[in-house]
Structure 1
Amino acid sequence: MNRSSIIIASLALGLGLASCGQYLDKYPDNRMELHSPSDAAKFLVSAYPEGHPAYLLEMYSDNTDEQDYTNWSANSPFQEQAYRWADITEIREQETPQQLWDAHYTAVTVCNEVLKHISEAKNKDEYSAQVAEAKLCRAYAMFQLANVFCQAYAPETAAKDLGLPYPEEPEVHPGRVLYKRGTLEQLYKRIEQDLTEGLAGLANAQYSQPKYHFTAQAAHAFAARFYLYARQYAKAIEHADATLGSNPATSLRDWAAWSKTGLSGNVQPNAFVQSSVKANILLQAVATEWGGLSIPILRGSKYAHGALISTTETLQTDGPWGASGDVLNYTVVNNNGVSKYAIRKLPYTAKYVDRVAGIGIPYSTYTIFTTDETLMVRAEAKALLGRYEEALADLNLELSVFSKKGVKLTLQGIQDFYKGVKYYTPEHPTPRKELHVTPALEATTQEPLLQAILQLRRILTIHEGLRMQDIKRYGITIYRRRVNVSNVVEAVTDKMEARDPRLAIQIPQDVISAQLEPNPRNGAKTN
């Protein structure tokens, strides 16, 4: 069969049914030949991964406790394994490491097939937009995989930490090439190369649904986050500037209007992810249960973002802006008899395989990059460079739309607030957590300013999986706690400190069996 013959429509179903015997590349049976830039563009729709790690990473993070009540149970063994930081053996659910690995490497395969076709085409010059999109999608898929399966990037350790295979050529015989993981430093360099080259070639890109593709704005937002994680703060600011433009206030989310939309059904979540919202830069529709499990339904209530976390650390606790639940523009949803506290950001819809039989696949749409989150990236990068007044200005700009009462912070007010807040302990939780980074933070202004940025971002991005990256990047110690119905901590059952091997989630067993080096565990508990 022609090497340029690729599937478009059946990729999504193939992800859920792919054999564990395959290694990196996943090849479906129904294929479509690539002959033109239009064909390549259509196929690149499948270069955006059919999976997202939010459910896995929210379970893994400090946004989740074990809720001890007879009627509350785990949704599945996967949910429990993720919460307990175990090496996950479940493979069939949509958000498992196996499925995330398959989804993202399938996206990489699509990119490589398109780039291979273009390299052999006589009219290469006509494909500049498709080359750019393919490289950006490949970089994004590998960045997402790195955020799940690798340690956080740090210059002092990246040359030793394990990276991931970065295929750049299609395989004639999938599963027969023995890959090496390389280092995290090498992985980041290859992501950066694709990201840089993709950005440079986007000038002619045109899309019928631009919010679901890498536009120039989306590519710059991706670059801003990448360079923040890569600790290249000046570049993070440069790309955040390009994302936000000269008047970012006009593109931030209208949180006040959104917070007034209806809470029933998918009304508020659909309003959050609308492509017409200027704040939404890149959207991604994926198969996931998380849109339903994250809200106050009974399923999956044993491991949840419960009242204790909500009232002492996140949605309902105090910040330097005041009482979050009263001051900020959202409504916390909760039902009596259910352990979950949430805000409505993720729609939950079924794509039916058999409507008569009621058989379907649950889907949600994620806001992958937004102007609000990019503004917080810029604020953090400025704070880390010692540009405190500029970081404060960005923080206040976000609060100008995210708060109900026109809150405006000062550096002194932030310092005073966090001086009055003790560092978190699992038995006496607060939103202030010890930050362990190299070099150490300046204590008087920088540390409290970053506490405010991290606290606000934790709220802004709740349910989206990004909190886990902040935990890894800042060496925040997190705990497993069992909490009773009176919100009393019954037991602290585990903790994960900076550089704990389990911060790099274990790669799937099938690729370990194919002789890819597993993540080290060094005697840490895995079950």
Structure 2
Amino acid sequence: MKIFKYIALSVLAVGALSSCNDYLDTLPDDRAEIETADQVKDLLVSAYPHYNNNTIMEMMSDNVTDNGKTYASTVLKDELYNFKDVDDTGNDSPYQSWNGYYRSIASANQALLSLKELGAEKDNMNLVAEAKLIRAYSMMQLANTFCMAWNPEKADEYMGLPYPTEPAKFIGGEYKRGTLRQLYENINKDIEEALPYIDDNTYTVPKYHFNRKAAYAFAARFNLYYQNFDKCIEYANEVLGNDPTLVMRDFEPLTQFGAQDIGTQWIKSSDKANLMLLATYSGASYNLVYPVYPRFQHNSIVCSYETFWAKGPWGSGSGGTSLVPGKALLYYSNMLYGKSESVMFPKLMPQFEITDKINQIGYLHAVDAIFTGDETLLCRAEAYALKENPRYDLAIADINTWIQTHCRPEASDGSKRPVLTEQSLKEFMDEMEYTPEKDIEQWSEYTIRKHLHPLGFTIEAGSTKENIVNLVLHMRRLETMYQGLRFVDLKRYGIAFSHVVKGDGIKEFNTEEVNYADPRGAIQLPADVIKAGLPANPR
């Protein structure tokens, strides 16, 4: 039996049309013939997202600051850094992220429909599972970008997003945003239905697909955000096993390489830490890593007081001066490159696809390790501290595992890698002042200790829970640099921060004392989508 279908390359096809329904239902005339399950498998290879939200989320976060007007920028970086609604429609913009993730969802939906019409669902539940995880992941990325963070007390009030479960049709029901609760319930449903059927034998190159460990790592992160902490722990355990170091990065060999080689090694599918890799069309490496447009960037000041060189339980890095190799315990601190206006750790390095060898032109890609054992460990550590009956001992054990793999045993100045206890962590945090929440211009006032205003629950200031969460959030910040997850954490915990704009004052975020849930945390929908009829995010 032959089945001819329009492959839905974009559920949300670009263009201002007469109504929201028309906008969401219009398809390009790109026909494909699907007549076997193997062809569905091939379709799923191309169903993974081709765009990302890294630039959006990083430029909105506290990982960057302003080097001044003498340095070049782009319209996109300027709008994001200033917390403006974005008009830019180029690569890495909200416009491209929106369309890219919904294209991915459309292809996953086409795969599901084709399997159904071929009568091949029961015999290919592994393909059904992969399609549902692609759909769930793309919807989660859209939620992280265009919605508020999960808050069970506000989930029926906050807007969600359309969650298509079929390829777009020229007739059909209306598309509505729904609520955040409905959106998360749909993501959760897809994940739960998919997990039992993931089969690593399906894939030739498993690390570029939702292999079993990647699927459970995704489930762990989602349930952390969803505040299902016991579920997060359960799924993280499936990834980490009895010895988490078996799926964590080995930093010592990387110290022998230069920047480009570190970047190459970082995304090797053979690296035990890399659970899943995603290749996208993206200039994120030039926006975030290389100082091509360095006005708004992760510079030596942010690095010294907030990120890699900031004081942690393992000591500090360079203190704002040129790094002395081998001085710091933290491996990251000894593997930084660039200039004072742009200090980079060499991950997410530019990858070029040459399409014209004579003229040396082609496409710029970013290859991102979107799920790793290291990040999954930190998801579990946070969940241990936040669960109904917290296990601080297990949370600190995970923290120590991270320190063990991310710090040298001994630095050149004789300092030793720490092994934390609840008491030693308390003593460290008690020595740290909280970073002020408003009008911050003195970088010397910054520390890794932040005021936490979590959405949907409370954490007592100065408690063991707060100490653990603050440290884990800092470690997650280092672990996920350039990947956009820091902004999600800022939203989840209502952490106040500021973007200093030289010559134009201070732009504050999350500093409303009554409600530490800044509406700008939900990036504005693309203008064409709003014009087509979907309600805009409130401002």
Q: Do both share a fold (TM > 0.5)?
A: yes
Question: Contact between 2:13 and 2:23, CA under 8 Å: does it hold in 1?
Answer: no
**CA distance, structure 2, for counterparts of residue 365 and residue 40 of structure 1:** 24
**TM-fit CA distance, 1:4:** 2.7
Structure 1 position 390 matched with structure 2 position 383 = no
Alignment of 1:418-457 (within 5 A): 418-425=429-436, 426-427=440-441, 428-437=445-454, 438-442=456-460, 443-457=462-476
1-structure distance, mates of 2:244, 2:173 = 47
In 1, the alpha carbon distance for the partners of 2:23 and 2:407 equals 48
Query: How far did residue 20 of structure 1 move?
Result: 6.0
1:319 corresponds, among 312, 317, 331, to 312
- The separation in 2 between residues aligned to 1:38 and 1:54, in whole angstroms, is 32
More moved, 499-508 vs 320-329: 320-329
CA distance in 2, matches of 1:287, 1:341: 24
* Alignment partner of 2:176 out of 180, 189, 204: 180
Secondary structure, aligned partner of 1:309: helix
Secondary structure, counterpart of 1:47 in structure 2: coil
Q: CA deviation at 1:492?
A: 2.2
- Could you tell me whether the CA contact under 8 Å between 1:178 and 1:516 is conserved in 2? no
My pick for the range that moved more, 286-295 or 158-167, is 286-295
Residue aligning to 1:343: 345
Residue 148 of structure 2 corresponds to residue 157 of structure 1: no
1:291 paired residue number:
285
Matched, 1:252 2:248: yes
Q: Where does residue 130 of structure 2 map in the other structure?
A: 133
Contact 2:13 2:27 in 1 (8 A): no
1:464 matched residue in structure 2: 483
Partner of 2:420: 409
Out of 238, 258, 271, the residue aligned to residue 277 of structure 1 is 271
Q: Secondary structure, in 3 states, of the residue corresponding to 2:157?
A: coil
- Residue 23 of structure 1 aligns with an amino acid whose one-letter code is Y
Letter in 2 for 1:492: I
Gaps (5+ residues) in structure 1?
485-489, 522-527
Is the 1:225–1:377 Cα contact (8 Å) retained in structure 2?
yes
Taking a change above 3 Å as real, the CA distance of residues 195 and 412 of structure 1, as seen in their structure-2 partners, is same
CA shift digits 1:168-221 (9 cap, x unpaired): 1112228x8641100000000000010011112224751001001111111100
Instruction: Provide the C-alpha distance between the structure 2 equivalents of 1:122 and 1:335, rounded to a whole number of angstroms.
Output: 56
Alignment of 1:89-100 (within 5 A): 89-91=87-89, 93-100=90-97
Q: Is the 8 A contact 1:25 1:105 kept in 2?
A: no
**Pair 50,164 (structure 1): closer, same or farther in 2 beyond 3 Å:** same
Once the two structures are TM-superposed, the CA of residue 461 in structure 1 deviates from its matched residue by: 1.1
Give the CA RMSD over aligned residues: 2.3
Aligned length, in residue pairs: 503
Name the SS of the counterpart of 2:353 in structure 1.
strand
- 2:342 match: secondary structure: coil
How far, CA to CA, are the matches of 1:513 and 1:17 in structure 2?
13
User: Residue 268 of structure 1: CA displacement?
Assistant: 1.0
Matched, 1:239 2:255: no
Counterpart AA for 1:512: I
1:109 to 98, 103, 106: 106
Q: Identity percentage over the alignment?
A: 35
Equivalent-residue separation in structure 1 for 2:57 and 2:97 (angstroms): 12
1 CA distance for matches of 2:426 and 2:24?
49
TM-score (norm 1): 0.90
- Asked if the contact 2:13–2:24 (Cα under 8 Å) also holds between the matched residues in 1, the reply is no
**1:233 to partner: Cα distance:** 0.2
- The answer for the alignment partner of 2:510 in structure 1 is 496
Q: Which whole-Å CA distance do the structure 1 matches of 2:3 and 2:528 have between them?
A: 28
The C-alpha deviation readout for 1:394-445, integer Å capped at 9, x for no partner, is: 0001111100124311211211111111111322222211100243213331
Superposed displacement of residue 64, structure 1: 1.1
Structure 2 match to 1:333 = 336
Tell me the distance in 2 between the aligned counterparts of 1:204 and 1:302.
Answer: 44
2:364 matched residue in structure 1:
362
Greater mean alpha carbon deviation, residues 181-190 or residues 243-252: 243-252
- In 2, distance between residues paired with 1:201 and 1:127? 9
Q: Do the aligned partners of residues 493 and 250 (structure 1) sit closer, same or farther apart at CA in structure 2, a change above 3 Å counting?
A: closer
Hey, what's the Cα distance between the residues in 2 that align with 1:293 and 1:55? 7
Of the three residues 187, 190, 193, the one matched with 1:191 is 187
8 Å Cα contact 1:16/1:99 also seen in 2: no
CA distance in 2, matches of 1:402, 1:28: 48
CA–CA distance in 1 between the matches of 2:41 and 2:297?
A: 40
Question: Whole-Å Cα distance in 2 between the matches of residues 389 and 483 of structure 1?
Answer: 45
Contact 2:494–2:510 (CA under 8 A) maintained in structure 1 = no
Alpha-carbon distance in 2 for matches of 1:3, 1:163 = 33
Aligned-partner SS, 2:160: coil
Gaps of 5+ in 2: 319-327, 410-416
Secondary structure at the aligned position of 1:365 is classed as: strand
Do 1:51 and 1:287's aligned partners in 2 also have CA atoms closer than 8 Å?
Answer: yes
Question: 8 Å contact 1:24–1:102 — kept in the other structure?
Answer: no
Question: In the TM superposition, what is the alpha-carbon distance from 1:27 to its structure 2 partner?
Answer: 4.3
* TM-score, normalisation: structure 2: 0.89
Residues in 1 aligned to 2:228 and 2:347: alpha-carbon distance in whole angstroms: 31
2:293 equivalent to 1:300: yes
C-alpha separation in 1, matches of 2:164 and 2:401: 41
Q: 1:94: Cα distance to partner?
A: 1.3
Does structure 1 retain, via aligned residues, the 8 Å contact 2:146–2:525? yes
Equivalent-residue separation in structure 1 for 2:335 and 2:67 (angstroms): 19
Structure 2 counterpart of 1:276, one-letter code: S
Amino acid at match of 1:56: I
**CA 1:400–1:15 in 2, change beyond 3 Å: closer, same or farther?**
farther
Counterpart position of 2:324? none
Moved more, 106-115 or 195-204: 195-204
- Report if the CA contact (8 A) 2:101-2:138 is conserved: yes
Instruction: State the alpha-carbon separation in 2 of the partners of residues 211 and 242 from structure 1.
Output: 16
- 1:120 aligns with 117
Query: The residue matched to 2:364 in structure 1 has which SS?
Result: strand
CA distance in structure 1 between the partners assigned to 2:11 and 2:278 by the alignment? 16
CA apart distance, 1:494: 3.3
Question: Which amino acid counterpart does residue 382 of structure 1 have in structure 2?
Answer: Y
Cα 1:363–1:272 change in 2 (3 A) is: same
1:169 counterpart SS class: coil
Number of the residue aligned with 1:525: none
Deviation of 1:19 after TM superposition, in Å, equals 4.7
Q: Which residue does the alignment assign to 1:23?
A: 23
1 CA distance for matches of 2:107 and 2:269?
Answer: 25
Whole-Å separation in 2 of the counterparts to 1:294 and 1:288:
11
